[in-house]
Amino acid sequence: MATAVNETNLAIQCMRLGAEDYVCKPFNLDEVALNVEKTLEKKSLEKKIKEFQEQLNQKSGNNRHSRLGLYFSVQSKHWSSRWRLRISILPGIRGG
């Protein structure tokens, strides 16, 4: 936020609304360049953090899915063999 008004309350309000920094006129171009550089670096780091969190969530989700898949695979085999056994003992029906 760049302004000619040097009020603390206005600066606080701007920061609460999403401004990364508050610079009063007349401003030093080196200061503005440094603020822009810091803001870009901050946004880049925030993006990387978000990407890492998404990757972590995908990996943990994949682990959950693979564990659930293994569980259901074992359960399916268990129930399948139990049903075959039950069907085979019924008169006139072959288990298979």
pLDDT the model gives residue 96: 44
Sorted by sequence, the CB contacts under 8 Å of residue 96 that are 6+ apart come out as 84, 87, 88
The residue extents of the domains of the chain are 2-89
Residues 1, 22 contacting (CB under 8 angstroms)? yes
pLDDT band at 18 (very low <50, low <70, confident <90, very high): confident
Query: Which has the closest alpha carbon to 35: 9, 1, 5, 7?
Result: 1
- Find where tokens 């508050």 sit: 22
Residues 1, 23 contacting (CB under 8 angstroms)? yes
The per-residue pLDDT for range 26-76, each reduced to its tens digit, is 888 898 888 889 989 988 999 999 998 888 877 776 666 666 666 666 666
